[in-house]
Structure 1
Amino acid sequence: MSRVRGTSAGGGEDPDPRDVREPWSRPDVATLTPDRMMAYIRARCPWAAAHTHRTLAPYLLEESAELMAAILEDERVGSAGGSATADAVEAELADVLYQVVFHAALLDERREAEPGDTWSSLQQRLVDKYVRRHPHVFESSSPVPIADVQRRYQDVKAAERAEGSAAREPSAEVHAEAADEALRILSDIRETMASRNRQD
């Protein structure tokens, strides 16, 4: 898939992020999109280059826990917190999104795709899936009772399962293994966050 490139810091065409010949060219960071930013990071940062989906998973859980903490704090403080707690929620959302962009970049590499192909694909997948699951929003001309909303949502999900898809669903055994590992990681995260609070 061809895609429009940005500009380099020198004003020329933004180079291929995967080109690591020295001296490195410097992209114009003001025009970087999340997917191209991540491609540069994967190519040029040894810490990022070493990661896999599995090694990244704990960070997704950690950032999600941080987001939950920011949401609870914003809810607890309310309007008295002004924009500060809302800004904290936004900052944590950005950290969660970074994890999504990171995983998308790993899929680009596995598929030998152009940087950003998966990022573009998952955005379209998101729109397609949730437009399909919200016919009461996109196909109705008037409000729908919430009981009907829930029923229709489940009907669409059931139809999706019946039709099947190219994506292979994990087995029940793998789901259980993933849940156990997530609980272990979350337990470690809880201890880390508690320790941080004690130090503060």
Structure 2
Amino acid sequence: MEPTTEDPLAEFVAVMRRLRAECPWKKEQTHRSLARYLLEETHETLEAIDTGDVAHLREELGDLLLQVVFHAVIAEQAGEFDLDDVARDITAKMIRRNPHVYGPDGGAAGSADAPDAATVTEVWESIKATEKGRGRRDHPDAVLDLPPTLPALLYADKVLNRLERAGAAPPTAGDDLGDRLLALVAEGRRTGIDPEQALRDAVRRLP
């Protein structure tokens, strides 16, 4: 059965509401029980990106959207929030964290002088730190609100980013394997290379 409306997203939400009401398996699911599927679909989306398969990427983005909508429908039925709330929140966040486009008060006019990408990133991180109540120069804050389940290289990259912004010196390679890996992540940051992606690409090149 193909979608029948001109608003595919609204139709999809309606489908998920019905499935949640009428499908025994979907009735039983919770945010926690669905967590593994969110992780799996995220990794499958990364696989599609790595292979450059656009059709596969389209499919996997749909599977990711399924997870977002499923969680939103569960929350909606519990009277917590719905998909519109999720959309409103992320829209407000994007406007708030991009003052070069929307202006400091979230209006329609941004800065006449568009900043470079590095400045945009710095402003984004500064606004994010303020929103989350993190002091920019407080080193212990470097690991606050970072999910411990992040891949190790990505986790290290984010911590180093925060420490650099706080004025800390980059790590140097030591004898310990972990120290050497951390130094390589720092090197990747200096050269503009994503260490997580670099390692994934290297593994793909193996015979």
**Shorter-chain-normalised TM-score: which range?**
0.5 to 0.7
Letter in 2 for 1:103: H
Q: Of the candidates 88, 91, 94, which is equivalent to residue 56 of structure 2? A: 88
Distance in structure 2 (CA, Å) of the matches to 1:150 and 1:121: 26
Output the TM-score relative to the length of structure 1.
Answer: 0.58
Post-superposition offset of 1:110: 1.4
Q: Of the candidates 27, 31, 45, which is equivalent to residue 23 of structure 2? A: 45
Output the TM-score relative to the length of structure 2.
Answer: 0.56
Does 2:77 match 1:102? no
Matching residue of 2:97: 133
Structure 2 unaligned spans of 5+: 103-109, 135-143, 153-207
Question: Percent identity over the alignment?
Answer: 32
Post-superposition offset of 1:161: 1.9
**CA offset digits 1:67-113 (Å, max 9, x no partner):** 11111111xxxxxxxxxx212111100000100000001101111x7
Structure 1 unaligned spans of 5+: 1-27, 75-84, 164-171, 184-200
Q: 1:93/1:173 Cα in 2 relative to 1: closer, same or farther (>3 Å)?
A: closer
Letter in 2 for 1:152: V
Which structure 1 residue ranges, 4+ long, deviate > 6 Å from structure 2? none
Letter in 2 for 1:108: E
Distance in structure 1 (CA, Å) of the matches to 2:123 and 2:25: 45
**CA offset digits 1:159-192 (Å, max 9, x no partner):** 21239xxxxxxxx79954xx29x99xxxxxxxxx
Distance in structure 2 (CA, Å) of the matches to 1:65 and 1:151: 28
Q: Quote the RMSD (CA, aligned, Å).
A: 2.9
For 1:6-155, list aligned pairs within 5 A.
Answer: 30-31=4-5, 33-74=11-52, 85-111=53-79, 118-138=82-102, 139-155=110-126
Counting matched residue pairs gives 132
